[in-house]
Amino acid sequence: MKKKTQAIIALIGSFLVLSVGLFRILTESLTSTPLFVAYVFTVAGLMGVIINGIVLRKLQTNE
């Protein structure tokens, strides 16, 4: 698998984790998930989106 494909998949996965965390925080509909876990998902997802975005940008400029 190419590095660019890996970076895109990681970026999408991080965005999904961020979305689940924000969804739980903003709407309190997922009561099975503790609020602490939602904050962890949000922080980890945000870090992943930022880092994977930087990696993807570096890969595109190197081509």
> Which pLDDT value is given to residue 10?
95
Residue with the larger pLDDT of the pair 63 and 48: 48
Helix axis angle for 3-26 and 35-62, nearest 10°, is: 150
Report the greatest alpha carbon distance in the chain.
46
CA separation for the pair 29, 37 (Å, rounded): 14
Question: How do residues 8-61 score in pLDDT, each as one tens digit?
Answer: 999 999 999 999 999 988 987 767 768 888 899 999 999 999 999 999 999 988
Output DSSP code: residue 1.
-
> Which pLDDT value is given to residue 28?
79
- Stated pTM of the model: 0.84
CB burial of residue 34 (10 Å; 0-12, 13-18, 19+): exposed
Q: How many CB atoms lie within 10 A of CB 35?
A: 12
Q: Where are the domains of the chain?
A: 3-62
> Which pLDDT value is given to residue 30?
66
